[in-house]
Amino acid sequence: MKISIITINYNNVEGLKKTVESVVNQSSKVFEYIVIDGGSADGSAEYLLAHNENLNYWVSEPDKGIYNAMNKGILQARGDYFLFLNSGDILVDDKEIINKIVLTLNHQAVYYAPIYLKKNNLTESKIEYPENLDERFLFTNTICQQAVIYHKSLFVDNVFDEKLKYISDWKMHFSLFKSKTKFIHFNIPFAIYDLNGLTSKGATKYNSHKERLKVQFLEFPFYFFKYYGKNWRVQLKLLKILFKIN
């Protein structure tokens, strides 16, 4: 069994270095490592070229955004399971962590685990998720992408929606749950999420929230009214988003 670890990067060479180092320092090589760089101009491509021997595949070329880059990585992946670890994010300080993960994987499912958060090189907290996810949780909450491992079969008929800028992973998770895909919890935190990254910034979090409300209403209206039908604050936010009222 092999895991495909996929890293996407754009103009974040220092974060990229931390991510690559955390992956290639694993004692076992039961994984392949793929890096998709969006044509960075900060030395990222030169760094990848210098570490070519540690990478199974890498490319540096313009892309159409985060989810386009992730889909590119999926097309190159040959593993049984996929793990997305973006530049700046790292594996926990355990050279056996990938081996430990592999021992838990045996279903065509979405696996998810607790995840640590770090900002400015200081571990801040740990996010724990329910052992049994339900429809309400997955519709109204987000599982951090770096806390998830996907079986390859889930991408035979699915890709990340490239029309979305922030919440395509949320849409993927909810859509998979609706289609009766198993979500399996395992209590082995394996990743540390970089809070200095793009999707953690204040403006980005606000825009992400706006995008998710819009997608929830337009693409999953039944569930929107099921869970927000009596929440006038959410509906007022939605109206402002739809009619572009500040």
Once rounded to an integer, what is the mean pLDDT over residues 91-117? 96
Length of the chain: 246
Element (H, E) at 206: helix 202-219
- Every domain of the chain with CATH number 3.90.550.10 lies at 3-197
Between residues 225 and 199, the one the model is more confident about:
225
CA atoms within 13 A on the CB side of 48: 31
Here the tokens at position 192 are: 């540390």
Burial track 114-144 (b if 16+ CB lie within 10 A, e otherwise): bbbbbeeeeeeeeeebeeebeeeebbeeebb
Has residue 6 got a pLDDT over 60?
Answer: yes
Task: Choose among 210, 220, 212, 217: nearest CA to 241.
Answer: 210
Once rounded to an integer, what is the mean pLDDT over residues 93-107? 95
Class of domain 3-197: alpha beta
pTM: 0.94
Once rounded to an integer, what is the mean pLDDT over residues 139-158? 96
The string of pLDDT tens digits covering residues 30-86 is 999 999 999 999 999 999 999 999 999 999 999 999 999 999 999 999 999 999 999
Per-residue pLDDT band at 227 (split at 50, 70, 90): very high
